[in-house]
Structure 1
Amino acid sequence: MHPSPVVPEQDAWLVTHSAGLLRPGEVVRGALCVRLDPLAPDTPPERYRRPKPAADGARFAGWGKLLLPVGAVMYVVSAPARLLERGAHHTWRGIRRLFRGPVWDGGWDSAAGWFVSTTRAGANDVAGHRNEQLALVFTDQRLLLLSRPGQPERETAQLLGEVPAGRFARRRTPPPARHPRRADIAFPDGSWLALEPDDRRQGPLLKELLPPA
């Protein structure tokens, strides 16, 4: 008999959604919903973004085609406001980073960079690359990265990516004590990334599910 997976009550849907993704004999150890650290990198550079033809096609189908000229005009008119907003955003992030400290390392070509770009892409049918939420399913063979459907009882979570067991671990250097809910996932190439559970009470569980380095 295998022990029951450790899953917060509000994330119990993950057991059902991941069942069809398991290999023969694969066992779920635990699962929970997490998000990238608030200061994790924003939208990945173009060459690191996963193509999403389903989402992009939906934007330019039907009524979307008729609205393209209007959208183009609005895009040009709003350009100055977007530049100001982007500048303020980066300034605020810079100030917060002084107090929060580093939240990742390795660059876009690293395993941590892949993790960020995979998370930012989100589900295939959702346009854009600014997603920050995902669900993690820890098995005895892999770490599964799943999308977060708005209505789990009606929508199926999508498999965004996976990391083989032994290719990820809890970072040896613990997060600052002022961030008790945070857990850092580390990879063999030396890269790492800060994660945090949706529910701050699940911080210890996230750390427990990440195997020690």
Structure 2
Amino acid sequence: MNVLNFIQSFFSDGSHWHGYDGIPQRVWEHLQYTAGALAIAAAVGLPIGLVTGHTGRGGNALAFVSAGARALPTFGLLVLMFVWLGLGIVPVMIPLVVLAVPPILITTYEAIRTLDPSPVDAARGMGMPEAKVLFQVEVPAALPLILSGLRSAAIQIVSTATIAAYVSLGGVGRYILDGLYQRNYEKVVGGAALTAILALLVLVLFWAIARVAVSPGVRRRRTV
């Protein structure tokens, strides 16, 4: 049986669409983990990236911290948090947030630092306060790159949130883990396919957000 047959069998099986182990329930759990981790990572990475990018200070420290965070093995950190904190959502959230903060942090910093200085200097020359320079001039112009950092983080989270199944939580990772335990490769392939589909949906979602949130003038300038 090839992979396509496994996928077809998994999605055509009516028992996979109902109950606590049904696809809607597992996808909903997976999206909850993803949204929670992304929200926390954005709350940490965006303010630091914006402030350091605006002031131009701390860039080396950010690069060092981000490189260190990226070097941490996600699964190893999950096991460590599980041993330390026990069962629950927190041991899952910590490695997912650690995974997502670096792309948000570094991309936001670079988005602000690499802007054309002319409009920023003009805003300061008009006496605009620094907070307004940041949020009314720099952020709108840097928004496409900032969103790309959030998109990268979201894709990494949604692809890695399958680890929640290893500490007895839900999500589509349950199909992969349970399928391996039961030697049910239809489940394994189905869980992997769901993960890939969710990652593609994240791409579509951020494309739609960019179309709505980014100024048409900024979009045109980036395509020139």
**TM range, smaller chain:** under 0.3
TM-score (norm 2): 0.22
Higher relative strand content: 1
The structure number with the bigger radius of gyration is: 2
